[in-house]
């Protein structure tokens, strides 16, 4: 299955379970979300944040994916370092889909609430804003994340970014990547 078809199928699936009330909302994050804001780069996966409905558990989401999509789901516990509590992964055609729960993850919850509709591969999808995408990329803080932040900083509202970085205790990391005029 080509990557575009896999992406469309994944978006349709999340729209479907949102319409059924299994999730409250979802938004695109990670490398593919960059496509909404800057020149796209290649990526090996599609990353989402998902707000699971209060009515069901994370394990229920795993079961829905396994039963409806007929996909093997890998469930991971997050780390204290990134504030991720629950994460799952599955393959959709040639792409890996990583899904992170917003439960107990205030930055992701806030990013989801502020997400906007943008076009990615010609498909309307909710995408986190550049400011939140930068902050989320500060958490794993790998080499590619640093490169993405440096490219994305041109699209960010720097005043807003500074306020959010301070609020989420990420100013030191942000300063280590890009020097921002704090005046």
- Evaluate whether residue 172 is within a structural domain: no
In a domain, 134, yes or no: no
Q: What is the CATH number of the domain that holds 38?
A: 3.30.460.40
Domain that holds residue 63: 3-129
Count of domains for the chain: 1
CB 76 within 8 A of CB 90: no
Instruction: Based on DSSP, count helices (H) and strands (E) in the chain, helices before strands.
Output: 8, 7
Whether 174 maps to a domain, the answer reads no
CA distance 36 to 48: 14
How far is residue 47's CA from residue 55's CA, in Å, rounded to a whole number?
24
pLDDT in tens, 116-158: 999 988 899 999 999 999 999 999 888 999 999 999 999 999 9
**pTM attached to this predicted model:** 0.91
**SS3 at position 109:** helix
Quick: pLDDT tens for 41-64.
777 789 999 999 988 999 999 999
Task: Identify whether 21 is part of a domain.
Answer: yes
In a domain, 59, yes or no: yes
């Amino acid at each position: 299955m080509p990557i575009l078809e896999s992406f469309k199928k994944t978006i349709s699936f999340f729209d479907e379970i949102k319409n059924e009330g299994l999730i409250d909302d979802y938004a695109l994050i990670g490398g593919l979300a960059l496509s909404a804001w800057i020149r796209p780069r290649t990526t090996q996966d599609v990353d989402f944040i998902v707000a699971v409905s209060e009515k069901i558990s994370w394990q229920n989401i795993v079961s829905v994916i396994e039963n409806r999509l007929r996909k093997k789901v890998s469930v991971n516990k997050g780390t204290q370092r990134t504030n991720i509590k629950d994460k799952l992964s599955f393959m959709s055609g040639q792409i890996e889909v990583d899904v992170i729960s917003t439960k107990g993850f205030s930055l992701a919850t806030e990013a989801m609430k502020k997400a906007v509709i943008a076009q990615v591969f010609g498909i309307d999808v909710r995408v986190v804003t550049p400011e939140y995408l930068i902050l989320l990329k500060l958490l794993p803080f790998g080499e590619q994340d640093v490169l993405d932040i440096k490219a994305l900083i041109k699209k960010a509202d720097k005043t807003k970014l500074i306020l959010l970085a301070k609020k989420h205790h990420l100013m030191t990391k942000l300063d280590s990547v890009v020097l921002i005029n704090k005046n």
